[in-house]
Structure 1
Amino acid sequence: MRYQEKYTNGLIANFIKSFWEFETADKECHYEILPDGLFDLIFEIRNEQISRIFLTGVWTKQIKISIPKDTRLIGVRFKLIAAEYIFKQSIKTLKNTKTELPKTFLGAQNQPIGDFEKFTSSLSQKIHYSLKKIKEIDSRKFHLFQMLYQLRGEITVKEISESIFWSSRQINRYFNDRFGFSLKTFCNILKCNSSFSQIANGQLFPEQEYYDQAHFIKEIKRYTGATPKDLYQNKNDRFLQLLTLREF
């Protein structure tokens, strides 16, 4: 398989973490995707044409996927605030699943899909233009997600509430209504995901994020279905994210 990822910057980085491309060769690939606190727009390309477009929800557990042979996937990895200000909808019903979108979505059928850089640059321009047309973005939500992604879940619900002057009850109602889970669950997912790069490179007990080894193992297994040791060993290249994080 071939994989690459391009990170964003500027205004759009508050809504999109990165663009990625994955390509299979002459056989079908089977992987498990682990929670990362994001949701994806995925363009499936076969025979140099867009065959399908998917919008996923947020994964709160490991998800098994199969990718057909001779297939390219180009994805946009969105932060949660994008659900409201780019897609303008709740993605609660998409939690741990996906839905198919029209192949005309974002004018994709007219985009240079054969060139990853040109395709993602064109998408960036379209999304950036739509963001500039938004009259107002709720400052509490904007700062909420900035804080969560920067600190990668290493903050309490109380600290967040006090920082942005938004009650914890209201924040949790917002999360459950929009995404289908609580703020605390989201913080735990971000914290779990932040440990993957350390695990991939053999550090099976991150020094700061968890109280002790038992708590660490319990939390990792809750969201990935595997122990840190299983993730590190990654038998049969089972966990796709661990493959892309390992330093060779």
Structure 2
Amino acid sequence: MNITYCRNCIRMSSSLQYHFKKPAEQLADFVFGFSSLNNISDCKEGVIIPNGRIDLLLCRTTDGRFFIVLMGLETQPKTMPQQNISMFFSISFNPLSLEYILDESIAELVNNGKELPEKFWGFREEDLNNFEDFCSKASDVIKKHLSNSIDERKRNLFRLIFDVNGEISIKELSETIHWSERQINRYFTKYLGVTLKMYCKILRFQKSLEYIKDGILSPQLNFSDQSHFIKDVKKLSGVSPKELFKNDNDRFLQFLVFPKK
């Protein structure tokens, strides 16, 4: 996905405080980025919309509880969970990480998540004290878990999908990376729990947010027409492009990832 992110951007929305940092180049195929969000409990109407990533969250609640959760892919909008979460630090993984870092499928976690064992990967509540230290520790841990043997067809598969924001057919993918259409589809359903077509639709929607954020409410990507564009945006965000652009009360948290202009 070619959305422009700053290396370490800070965005404040009302009382929300958001930080984002890209990974080192060595991890770029597996990790989309690291982020933190503070004062979440002040956000009463937050909406989470699909972004095509797998998030590992270190969370602290308003009553001091610490826990770690792995979130599956989102395919529909949902309101912020009512868990009185005050802050979290996050690792946003790209799908390739499921096989080569996390070593598990999230097919059963679509629009859901699961709490991980205490001290997963050696993370502790103290890791929430400093975002830069968290990014360094997370990077080191990920490198230790990264497989030494990567199927280059799969690496190229995701590079190509991201480069074109999901605007590619499975036939073209298959011919380009020399992997059968059947195997590609089975890979997506096995590890992600969604079809390639659905995943590509999410990436195209994410790229569309960049234009919607700037008030461009007509399709700039490969939608067949305006009604198709509106239908897809509504399905993945719950509202029309016009309502997304207004972003009343800063409730669409995904817009936090866009740096200020």
1:246 is displaced (CA, Å) by 7.0
What does 1:14-29 correspond to in 2, within 5 Å? Answer: 14-24=29-39, 27=42, 29=44
Q: Which residue identity lines up with residue 120 of structure 1 in the other structure?
A: C
Shift of 1:49: 6.9
For 1:55, the equivalent position in structure 2 comes to 70
Task: List per-residue Cα deviations over 1:70-114 (Å, max 9, x = no partner).
Answer: 722101110011111111111000110010012201101286431
Is 1:211 the counterpart of 2:218? The answer is no
Separation in 2 of the partners of 1:207 and 1:152?
12
Secondary structure of the 2:217 match is coil
* Distance in 1 (alpha carbons) for counterparts of 2:91 and 2:30: 10
Q: How far apart, CA to CA, are the structure 2 residues paired with 1:26 and 1:144?
A: 38
Q: Secondary structure at the match of 2:46?
A: strand
Change in Cα spacing, 1:80 to 1:145, as seen in structure 2 (3 Å) is same
RMSD of equivalent CA atoms: 2.2
- Alpha-carbon separation, structure 2, partners of 1:40 and 1:26: 19
The percentage of aligned residue pairs carrying the same residue is: 35
CA distance in 2, matches of 1:221, 1:30: 18
User: 1:164 aligns to what?
Assistant: 177
* Structure 1 Cα separation of the partners of residues 152 and 256 of structure 2: 37
Q: How do 1:1-248 and structure 2 match up within 5 A?
A: 1-24=16-39, 27=42, 29-46=44-61, 51-66=66-81, 71-109=86-124, 112-131=127-146, 134-245=147-258, 247=260
Show CA shifts across 1:138-194 (max 9, x none): 111111111112221021111101001111111111111221111111111100111
- The normalised TM-score by structure 1 is 0.91
Distance in 1 of aligned mates of 2:18 and 2:224: 34
- Give the drift of 1:208: 3.4
Deviations 1:36-67 (A, max 9, x none): 11110000135897711110000011121146
Q: 1:5·1:20 contact (CA, 8 Å) conserved in 2?
A: yes
Moved more, 232-241 or 47-56: 47-56
Deviation, structure 1 residue 201? 1.7
Scaled by the length of structure 2, the TM-score of the pair is 0.87
After superposition, the Cα gap between the structure-2 partners of 1:48 and 1:86, relative to the gap in structure 1 and judged at 3 Å, is farther
